[in-house]
Amino acid sequence: MGVFKVPLVDPSGCGDCFTAGLIAALLRGWDTVRTLEFASAAGALGATALGCTDGVPSFAQVERFLKKNEVTKVTKVS
């Protein structure tokens, strides 16, 4: 699984956004890759605003983000 590059403002709540995206995708019965990409995008978007609530993206915002952005493959962790 890769990551999405976003301008980091505040990581507070990113895990909650990821989990919400994961649940939303699982409830739709999506395959594993699509589910994890959606959850990852939701988590990434959560980091683009200050605080735990302002960065929570809507379902439509995550879908738009996925159409415009590609996953960056992680090849090395330092």
Q: How confident is the model at residue 19 (pLDDT cuts 50, 70, 90)?
A: very high
Q: What is the pTM of this model?
A: 0.88
Dig out the tokens for 43 from the structure.
């988590």
Distance of CA 53 to the CA centre of its chain: 15
The three state secondary structure string of 18-60 is: HHHHHHHHHHCCCCHHHHHHHHHHHHHHHCCCCCCCCCCCCHH
Is the pLDDT confidence value at 52 over 90?
Answer: no
